[in-house]
Chain A
């Protein structure tokens, strides 16, 4: 589970008596030497991800979670409810029909929360970019994405690399400060000789309501 963050008091305001206390605690703690790094290390070492797969990338996600690659050594275990998760790995093709549901699941996750877009479909539609009427071309049109992992599907090593990149991202955070989201995006990809790196990703991260999913080409 996640640790305290500047955003949590916003959610705790509904709890009588708790909100003000937590706000002071977080901003004070961040000034104590070493606390920031310790909290970040705790966050990065226990990224619980949602048990949630959309298409064939989910097979690679399962393989990464199984014993050979073993997500557990990063402190990552799956939870079957969004209320207990820190990380959403969007693994697979996101259709327009599924998109509002994914947005709902993301909204149900408590802060701090992170998103890994796994595979070409979640980055820009992948093989369904052309001639497809039902696929959302890029999951970052509905939720902010922290890490993109390219591949179709990515191998478990690539997904593992994405999770390590996310850990590095978490270690740069500061208690009591808004996370710079979704500007902080990193791309991990297998370098193919002669191919340019992916630098034409759609601008991402605008938070919109489920009924306002843009239908864009």
Chain B
């Protein structure tokens, strides 16, 4: 049976004492969870029978200089049909997270892409190399303050 976001939040709050809040994220409600319990939360979401989030849809980041780098991942339960967005606010200067590659196989390349373009370090990732840019590239192009000599600014 598909659970509502509030029910999912309440189940998480019953399990984890840390502060979990609901935030509106571009027309979709997201659970903002602390960085420390991120991997445990995803493990719980996947392994709990009523939640059963067995599919990692997507992982991405949003850059908010100067301090915030928001990591977002979308999970879906194919059996129950419910869906959730998790958001983790990272320190923009030293962003790091545990990898989800041990829970979801497709997290491997998603996280390589985020490492490549945003510079988030994923601990325990099996193969954290650049995915899109050349191997010897420096910098992370999707950061808002990224500068490169190849870039020609569009005239106003």
A-side residues, CB < 8 A to B, are: 96-97, 129-135, 137, 215-217
A134-B131 Cα distance, complex, nearest whole Å: 14
A114-B154 Cα distance, complex, nearest whole Å: 33
Contact count band on B: 10 to 19
Q: A130-B154, A133-B141, A134-B141 are in contact. Are A217 and B149 (CB under 8 A)?
A: yes
For the complex formed, measure the closest distance between the CB of B64 and the CB atoms of chain A, giving whole angstroms.
20
Docked complex: B105-156 residues within 8 A CB-CB of A: 132-134, 141, 146, 148-155
Could you tell me if A215 and B134 are in contact, using CB atoms closer than 8 angstroms?
Answer: no
Q: Closest B-chain residue to A97, C-beta based? A: B134
| Interface residue from B132, B149, B152 paired with A131 (Cβ < 8 Å) | B152
Report whether over half of chain B's contact residues are helix, strand or loop; otherwise say mixed. Answer: loop
B-side residues, CB < 8 A to A, are: 132-134, 141, 146, 148-155
For the complex formed, measure the closest distance between the CB of A57 and the CB atoms of chain B, giving whole angstroms.
20
Could you tell me if B151 and A131 are in contact, using CB atoms closer than 8 angstroms?
Answer: yes
Smallest CB-CB A-B distances: 3 pairs: A130-B154, A133-B148, A217-B152
For the complex formed, measure the closest distance between the CB of A98 and the CB atoms of chain B, giving whole angstroms.
10
A130-B151 Cα distance, complex, nearest whole Å: 7
Q: Closest B-chain residue to A129, C-beta based? A: B152
Could you tell me if B150 and A132 are in contact, using CB atoms closer than 8 angstroms?
Answer: yes
Q: Which residues of B contact A97 (CB under 8 A)?
A: 132-134
Could you tell me if A130 and B150 are in contact, using CB atoms closer than 8 angstroms?
Answer: no
Q: Closest B-chain residue to A133, C-beta based? A: B148
Q: Which residues of B contact A217 (CB under 8 A)?
A: 149-152
Q: A96-B134, A97-B134 are in contact. Are A130 and B146 (CB under 8 A)?
A: no
Q: Which residues of A contact B141 (CB under 8 A)?
A: 133-134
